[in-house]
Structure formats: structure tokens, C-alpha cells
Amino acid sequence: MSEMYAFIEAEKTTHPVAFLCRLLKVNRSSFYAWRDGAEARADRRAAEEALAHGITVIHIASRCTYGAPRIHAELRRPWEQSTIVWPSRPARSPCR
């Protein structure tokens, strides 16, 4: 679906958005919601990448001995917001 929205975004300079939405059978409001949410998606992606980097750094600094609970405790100190689900994802690969 996002491919269609990206196509509409790319072609909106040559054709009206309403025409493109009708042609691709998508709601105009859905296209605008997708377009306006791009910044939020980018912010979320950046936050996830920063958190994944922090998890990897803590895991390697602990000589690959810290698991999810300890990594979670380390992450909560500077950021004060974290979940127990996140630390268990990328911590397995760097020390193999």
C-alpha cells in the first residue's frame, strides 16, 4: 500500500491527487494520513536504531554476559523509558 502512496507523492506534480487516488482506488484521506505520518515514522525508526545501538554497546561492554534484564536496567538509567521486550532482540548476534 505504501508503494501506491509513494507513487502518488511522486506523481502529484503532474496529476491531481484526487485523480491519482481514484485511479489507484485509495482514499485521499488515507494518502494524506500516510504523507503526514512520514515524519513520525522517521522519528520512530531513528529511536529504534539508537536503542539498538545502545543495546549492542552495553552487551559488548559487558563481554556478552548481560542478558535482557541487566541491559534493561542499564538502559533505564539515562533514558528512563524502555521496555523489557527490546533488549532481548539484537543482543544475541555481536558476540558469536
Condensed to tens digits (0 to 9), the pLDDT of residues 34-84 reads 999 988 888 888 988 988 888 898 889 888 898 889 988 888 876 555 454
84 shares a domain with 64: yes
Tracing cell 502512496 back to the chain, one arrives at: 5
80 shares a domain with 52: yes
88 shares a domain with 58: yes
Contacts 24+ apart (CB under 8 A), 28-35: 30/5, 31/5, 34/2, 34/5, 35/5, 35/9
80 shares a domain with 62: yes
Provide the domain limits for residue 83.
45-92
pTM of this prediction exceeds 0.85: no
The three cell numbers locating residue 87: 533488549
Domain count, the chain: 2
Average pLDDT, the chain: 84
pLDDT of residue 17: 96
55 shares a domain with 88: yes
